[in-house]
Structure 1
Amino acid sequence: MITGTRASRHQAITDLLTRHEVQSQTQLSQLLAEQGFSVTQATLSRDLDELGAVKLRREGQLVYAVAAEGGDGLTVASLGEPDGRLRKVCNDLLVSAEWAENLVVLKTPPGGASLLASAIDHARPQDVLGTIAGDDTIMVITTSRAAAPVVTEHFLQLAQGQA
């Protein structure tokens, strides 16, 4: 592996976050050092920001996660089938959900929207055409006006562990 490039470092970070439940930048820096990467705290912080990394609650602890390449969801541990992953990510990240016309607006903590949108896209819930994610807001496009309140309620139930 070429360890001098930014792209190789980003790939190593993504791989490490896939295989390990990393709780701190110090821990991640040590794991990178074991692979031959020497990074400063500032560089590592910038890398995590560029990768869109966020911290998720996992078994009572906060761990780093990034969206997988190709939009395949989270790279922290196996979250099971698409509905199971969507349930877990909604529970971890969904702050609020409201609808208007055929749109549902979901709010997450800063940096969490792309992770939740990726989980939604991967699960392909009924009556959802697609998502558009910003930093902390997701717009979910539903198939009809009638579907929007049903989809909104579904996401809220997932977040509360009821679905």
Structure 2
Amino acid sequence: MTRLDRRVRQGIIFEALSQGKVRSQQDVVRILSKAGFRVTQATASRDLEELGAVRGKGDDGRVIYSIPEPGRGLIDDLTLAINESQRLLVIKTPPGAAQLIAGRIDRTKVDGIVGTIAGDDTIFIACAKDASTRGIKDRLKGIVAGESVGRSGAKARKRSTR
């Protein structure tokens, strides 16, 4: 598939997400099939991840995919609690959001973070012996809010591509 196909496909998915029509990856496959795209569940999964879609509970209590509100960082939308315990940070998220946030943290490579482990709704962050968990916690808030945090901890806002 071409990049144009991917953009069109993801536009269709985005519209369905905006209307609250996506409860599973299989829903994405069906929606795209009706629009003339033959995709696998793996492609649907990649598209949802690239769009930043997360699983949460809808008004009816059932699982639904959505995209966090623009203008707010992922930490605001997806973090229920951040707790510190010696050299460990524990982030609680809605179901399905932990791996999205942990992946973003891993790709940023913040000084002081030894590694992350993500389940469905919990992230464990191991901090280096000489690192301040409070300092790392503050840097993480910036990272998931869309700031780029270098190895020195200096912040720079990401530029919009629009």
TM-score interval, smaller chain: 0.5 to 0.7
SS in 2 for 1:58: coil
Structure 2: tracts of 5 or more residues without a match: 56-65, 148-154, 156-162
In structure 1, how many angstroms separate the alpha carbons of the residues matched to 2:82 and 2:112? 16
Match of 1:154 among 136, 139, 149: 139
In structure 2, how many angstroms separate the alpha carbons of the residues matched to 1:125 and 1:17? 30
SS in 1 for 2:32: helix
SS in 1 for 2:96: coil
| Aligned twin of 1:104 | 89
Match of 1:127 among 106, 112, 117: 112
- In the TM superposition, 1:1-12 aligns within 5 A as none
Paired positions, count: 117
What letter matches 2:37 in structure 1? Q
SS in 1 for 2:67: strand
In structure 2, how many angstroms separate the alpha carbons of the residues matched to 1:91 and 1:122? 19
- Greater relative contact order, per chain length (Cα 8 Å cut-off, separation 6+): 1
| Aligned twin of 1:32 | 33
1:57 equivalenced with 2:43 (yes/no): no
SS in 2 for 1:104: strand
Contact 1:97 1:156 (C-alpha < 8 Å) held by counterparts = no
Query: Residues 95, 146 of structure 1: CA spacing in aligned structure 2 closer, same or farther, 3 A cutoff?
Result: same
What letter matches 1:114 in structure 2? Q
| Aligned twin of 2:59 | none
* Alignment RMSD: 4.1
Match of 1:89 among 68, 74, 78: 74
In structure 1, how many angstroms separate the alpha carbons of the residues matched to 2:99 and 2:11? 17
Query: Residues 18, 139 of structure 1: CA spacing in aligned structure 2 closer, same or farther, 3 A cutoff?
Result: farther
Match of 2:121 among 124, 133, 136: 136
- Normalized against structure 1, the TM-score is what? 0.53
- For residue 94 of structure 1, report the CA deviation from its aligned partner: 1.6
Contact 1:91 1:158 (C-alpha < 8 Å) held by counterparts = no
Identity of aligned residues (%): 26
- Normalized against structure 2, the TM-score is what? 0.54
What letter matches 1:59 in structure 2? P
